[in-house]
Amino acid sequence: MYTLGIETSCDETSVAVLKNLTVLSNLTISSLKAHKKYGGVVPEIANRAHLNNIDKVLKLALEEAKVKIEAIDLIAATYKPGLIGALLVGLNFAKALSVTLKVPFIGVNHLHAHFFSPFLNYKYKLRFPFLGLVVSGGHTSIYQIEQIDKIKIIGSTQDDACGETLDKVALNYGLGYPGGKVIDKLFEPRYKNAFKFKCGKKGLNLSFSGIKTALAYKKNELESKKKRLSLDLKKKLLSSFQFSLVEAIVKTIVEASKTKEIKRVSCGGGVIANSFLRDRLKQEQKKESINFLIPPLEYTQDNGAMVAGLGFYLYNKKGVASSLALAAGSS
């Protein structure tokens, strides 16, 4: 069965072709460069980029997969959450293809697709129940998955998302946007306790606004003393910051695993590309005997392959397609 996956929830225009759960192509064009000078994603710019790129990405994805459009059996597209205008481009494009090709269409929650991403290419076997950890620019959530269509949130950020926090701190420290990768490159384990920062936590819920503010205050404090923020000092500050951020996430997901007595955790989202977070999850896997399913880097960012994969599984599980009246949703 050939599934076409379309993802346009934010700044990435992505189309993938899967044969069952095997990825034949996964093409993405990002409008990120156009957003850099604004320090964040501008919805209108993202919407226009999707409109300009979606035909091109579809053509390239089909060419790489060596599959003709007439061979597609199912169209899957993100319908929530995300920027409404951006979602509408991909969703309406998918519906139009569905009608033209006379094949079923299914809407996908792209956050659920993130924790489905480790199962692409049959890297891991899908067994229930398991926990899902999604850490991205806009979301930080823990899910309990009893079945692929029986999912509930058991923990989440109460304010800023983890990726958003990384980006805002990086901007404040003059590192540009996006900042997560830059902070990860500057990170040095020897400086992890150079400064003391702490994330808020209540049960399985986290808070990152406090640590973001603490970094800003510390920067202002040091600069008020006419102490120049040298590269080495920035490394100490940002290494301590990243360490605290990652430890909060790792401790919370380990707690969730113990509380729910579920030893399998599927991870996804852009921040899962963070090298220190990946290392810490692997360390906890050995220490706590928790099986962390971590996707390859190419499937951590928003992408069409994860949408196609989850769409394929949902359609075959339920045997029911989505209505063409399905609306885009921001949450």
Residue 209's pLDDT is 96
pLDDT digits (tens, 9 = 90+) for 186-231: 999 999 999 999 999 999 999 999 999 999 999 999 988 877 789 9
For the chain, which domains are there? 2-120+299-318 (3.30.420.40), 127-294 (3.30.420.40)
Contact 35, 11 (CB under 8 A): yes
Residue 32's pLDDT is 78
| Lowest mean per-residue pLDDT among 94-98, 146-150, 239-243, 295-299 | 146-150
Mean pLDDT of the 53-76 span? 98
Pick from 282, 274, 212: nearest CA to 254? 282
For 329, the token pair is: 């949703």
Residue 317's pLDDT is 87
Whether residue 58 has pLDDT greater than 90: yes
Quote the CA–CA distance of 148 and 132 in Å, as a whole number.
Answer: 11
Residue 43's pLDDT is 87
Kindly list the distances between the CA atom of residue 241 and the CA atoms of 171, 185, 187, 189, 208, in Å, as whole numbers in the listed order: 14, 13, 9, 11, 11
Whether residue 34 has pLDDT greater than 90: no
pLDDT digits (tens, 9 = 90+) for 229-239: 899 999 999 99
pLDDT digits (tens, 9 = 90+) for 68-124: 999 999 999 999 999 999 999 999 999 999 999 999 999 999 999 999 999 999 999
pLDDT digits (tens, 9 = 90+) for 247-297: 999 999 999 999 999 999 999 999 999 999 999 999 999 999 999 999 999
pTM, rounded to two decimals: 0.94
- What mean pLDDT is reported for the chain? 95
Residue 331's pLDDT is 66
Reported as a pLDDT band with limits 50, 70 and 90, residue 26 is very high
Whether residue 330 has pLDDT greater than 70: no
Torsion from C-alpha of 232, 236, 241, 244, nearest 10 degrees? 150
Q: Under 8 Å CB-to-CB from 291, ≥6 apart: which residues?
A: 263, 264, 265, 285
Whether residue 149 has pLDDT greater than 90: no
For 286, the token pair is: 């050995």
